[in-house]
Structure 1
Amino acid sequence: MDGYIDVSPDGFAGRLEVVEGPSGRRRWSDEEKARIASESFRPGVHVADVARRYGTTRWQIYDWRRRLTKGLLALPAEVGAHPVFAAVVVEPEVACSAPSAMSEGGVVELVMDGITIRAGQDVDEAHLVRVIRAARTAAQ
């Protein structure tokens, strides 16, 4: 008995993809989610194009982007190794009560979510990255 439901009797009409597993859903690791979400932040990239490329939906990528910006997802090392730029605000010089050891060299001051981080020019970059990540986590 031949029966067709919304299918052309002439042959295959499209692409069929079978996702294995008990629920039929894909499982993305947190690393994959962060990588895909960070890719969608690149200039000139459309979220819909990224979603299509990875076989997911736009709303999933928007959710992953939100989680990434809140620090709930961590970027993989190969993605986070690229240089990132931050806005710099130059204020007029004012009297500072900083210790003299810090005032001799350059001091970088970062203000994030009400947390101020001051670092001298001799601070280790890896240590500063750990401090910034800890500050972001504490601010949540």
Structure 2
Amino acid sequence: MLIDFVPTINGLSLADAPAFKKAPGGAPANFAVGIARLGGSSAFIGKVGEDEFGYMLADILKENNVNSEGMRFDPGARTALAFVTLRSDGEREFLFYRNPRADMLLQEAELDFNLIKKVCEEYFGTLNCFI
């Protein structure tokens, strides 16, 4: 999960954009929010920085009824940032700021395997879940 910075004007390169607005991002979190908005049950497992952006992302998950028990906060790393634009030729352009960032630092010991098993069984049934 990360913070996307999106140009206030579409169709420009990142270098030509006059200003940006922040938005929650990251495909796994976007998917979890989408499932929850459609009335399904979803969870997010990952790491963000113990910073203002990390807390903002946690609040957004809660506001959208996504189980965030698996979310971890790293006091030694920052939440990842990405600048994203849709150029005039229709191609997306990304510029990530990770060096490394919290989303790259999740350790096995921080995983809640009971939560993973619970989510897996809800979606795929017990027989299809091998953890």
Q: TM-score band, normalised by the shorter chain?
A: under 0.3
- Tell which has more relative contact order, 1 or 2 (C-alpha 8 A, sep 6+): 2
**TM value normalised by structure 1:** 0.21
- Based on CA coordinates, which of the two structures has the bigger radius of gyration? 1
Query: Whose strand proportion is higher, 1 or 2?
Result: 2
**TM value normalised by structure 2:** 0.22
